[in-house]
Structure 1
Amino acid sequence: MAGTAHSEPSSLYAPSALVLTSAHGESVAATPQRAVTLTCAPTATGTHPAPKDACAALAQVKGDFSELAETTRGEPRFCTRQYDPVTVTAQGVWQGKRVNYEHTFSNECIKNSEGSSVFEF
């Protein structure tokens, strides 16, 4: 009698691996000046300067990049009103779901305050 072969999952974690970019300009067509990788499962790693903080911020908003600004609400922000647009992108997989995010902030200071630690690179 032949038995049925069962494959074991290679990991108990849904994949969470992202490439994050930052570019000066109003669209993704701008040439990225900086790109980092961020992997959050099973541990926080990548070329991101603070992967643990970035993964914690994403976990707090359940991977909804548009909600990142909510994690810093109430904290003091002192940014100028200068318009010098910065566009960020996030592409990859968050907890097994495809991610393709793009957002333009009015300047670098706003990006760093509203983008949480995720886009601070």
Structure 2
Amino acid sequence: MSKKIAIKTKNAPSAIGPYSQAIKIGNLVITSGQIPFTAGGELVSGDIKDQTRQSLTNIKKVLEEAGLSMDKIVKCTLFIQDMNEMAAINEVYQEFFTEPYPARSAVEVARLPKDVKIEIEAIASAE
């Protein structure tokens, strides 16, 4: 059985609770949800495009620490405050991904940590 390895980088926001930025197990890297804060702990802005871009940038930085790139992502889950902002989210999402796009789920939620508009988590494969 594969050993669970915590992934930690200073290039993305630190975990603010008892969890890891990501876990590597076997060929998979599973990120925790990334919210739109800089590595220094500042919210980027209230704009959904800026928030989406920062959340995806944080995922990119965590994956880079694990030796992977965004093209290794096989699944993303988006937690969104307002599903009406999906077109703007998709516009930014396409800056980070090309076909074949990762599988994806998008869920509208009542509230997110720090009252942000979006949180994104990912699963990447080293294969």
**TM class, shorter-length:** under 0.3
Rg larger for? 1
TM superposition score normalised by structure 1: 0.26
